[in-house]
Amino acid sequence: MDVAKLVAVLTASPQSLSEIYGIGNVHGSRLPLVQIPTTAGTGSEVTNISIVTTGATSKMGIVAPQLYADMAILDAELTIGLPPAVTAATGIDAMVHAIEAYTSKHKKNPLSDGLARQALGLLSRHLIRACENGQDLAARQAMLLGAMLAGQAFANAPVGAVHALAYPIGGIFHVAHGLSNSLVLPHVLRFNAQACAEQYAELAAIVVPHAAGSTAARAEALAVAMQQFAAVTALPRTLSQVGITAGDLDLLASEAMKQTRLLGNNPRPVARADAYALYELAL
């Protein structure tokens, strides 16, 4: 879908790919664009973002209003063959979009909040079902709708430190995007809870409605619930399991700090030492 966005833009433009990296650098219009996801994860069918691999370990982002599609089609039949591990990882990515939009520092608003809450409800109620029975069309359709709503949420209120820490894991070690997110997610949630426990507690009421106790306890319940999704769906849960060692953490921390576009959205500032410590917890 991200390639299709760029093809639609570049085919109709004298600009080259390298000229449109960054935010707002696309000039002119594009060809008609219809986006049809085959995973319930990225939400790219409704975002104005394209992420493109530019080298062995590098990716670049293009953000421009021209990248919004004319139409998105959500057809659950197209996700039926998705293996459980991919269903789980992409579904957790979509949940991260909702969670990070809900706690986004600058652009969080009532509209993005509503989208994020609706997305998280659909995704959290149907992820296990879709993983356990890939043929469950109703669960698949709910996942697609949830991922799309989460995409609209973070197109309004952009994602933060989970994605900032996940990008180098994907870029350098070629770990899939959803799994990269899942590996750092619980640690970033606990780190951020100092700044946004109230918001996490509100989301816990959606994901784990039985959670009770103090605001901090309900925020912790959200982190535990997200860890449970990875455990129940048998995803790797540590960086070690995907081949990352203690010697790699310096490089990861340095690369994560370059994700300034994302880190600026995080509810709590992330210093380099914080990034290193978070990777260490995830190891």
Q: How far, in Å, CA of 36 to CA of 72, rounded?
A: 6
Q: Which of 45, 93, 100, 255 binds Fe ion (CB under 5 A)?
A: 93
* Comparison of 162 and 201: residue with beta carbon closer to Fe ion: 162
Q: Which part of the chain contacts Fe ion (CB under 5 A), choosing from 26-34, 90-98, 101-109, 122-130?
A: 90-98
Q: Is the dihedral of CA 180, 186, 189, 194 positive or negative?
A: negative
* Comparison of 123 and 197: residue with beta carbon closer to Fe ion: 123
Name residues contacting Fe ion, limited to 102-161 (CB under 5 A): none
| Owner of token pair 């995973």 | 39
Q: Which part of the chain contacts Fe ion (CB under 5 A), choosing from 93-101, 137-145, 182-190, 201-209?
A: 93-101
- Tell me which residue of 155, 76, 82, 81 sits closest to 116, measured CA to CA: 155
* Comparison of 153 and 197: residue with beta carbon closer to Fe ion: 153
How many CB atoms within 10 Å of residue 246?
A: 11
Q: Which part of the chain contacts Fe ion (CB under 5 A), choosing from 92-100, 117-125, 204-212, 249-257?
A: 92-100
Name residues contacting Fe ion, limited to 193-232 (CB under 5 A): none
Q: Which part of the chain contacts Fe ion (CB under 5 A), choosing from 88-96, 137-145, 225-233, 255-263?
A: 88-96
Q: Does 2 bind Fe ion (CB under 5 A)?
A: no
* Comparison of 188 and 197: residue with beta carbon closer to Fe ion: 188
Q: Helices 161-173 & 84-102, crossing angle to 10 degrees?
A: 140
* Comparison of 151 and 267: residue with beta carbon closer to Fe ion: 151
Q: What are the Cα distances from residue 112, in Å, to 66, 67, 99, 108, 210?
A: 20, 19, 11, 6, 25
Q: Helices 110-132 & 84-102, crossing angle to 10 degrees?
A: 160
Query: What residue ranges bind Fe ion (CB under 5 A)?
Result: 93
